Amino acid sequence: MHGDLHHHNVLRHGDRYVAIDPKAAIGEPEFDVPPFLWNPIGTTPTVERTEQRIAAFVAAGLDDARIRAWSIVRGVYLGLLPQDPSITEPAQLAVARMLTAE
């Protein structure tokens, strides 16, 4: 897995995209998906946007259930870390809430 895969580390290169700045580790590739569901920070994730993004990763060959599981686990523990007090619900927790509401 990339280990630091988020929207700032994916660049367009001609007609394709490349990932930069890896923090390589061994693990499930689905672990890398959650940051795409809650980024960019400062935007509000919606059910529609979240489902579209999950569907794109599933179409690329990743496992839907694993994406959802990692998104909930990572979203809860990262969303509970100290945040900007002006943010009522961090995007990480919002996505975890969406995925557990099904």
Q: How many domains does the chain have?
A: 1
H/E run at residue 12: strand 10-13
Q: Is residue 21 part of a domain?
A: no
For residue 3, the model assigns a pLDDT of: 83
Preceding peptide of 40 cis, ω within 30°: yes
Q: Is residue 38 part of a domain?
A: yes
**81 pLDDT higher than 70:** yes
Burial class (CB in 10 A: 0-12, 13-18, 19+), 27: exposed
Q: What is the mean pLDDT of residues 85-98?
A: 84
Q: Is residue 24 part of a domain?
A: no
| pTM to 2 decimal places | 0.79
Q: What is the DSSP letter of 16?
A: E
Residue pLDDT, tens place only, 1-36: 888 888 888 899 999 999 899 888 899 999 999 998
Residue pLDDT, tens place only, 44-79: 899 999 999 999 999 999 999 999 999 999 988 887
Q: Is residue 93 part of a domain?
A: yes
| Residue in the block written with tokens 């988020």 | 6
Q: Is residue 33 part of a domain?
A: yes
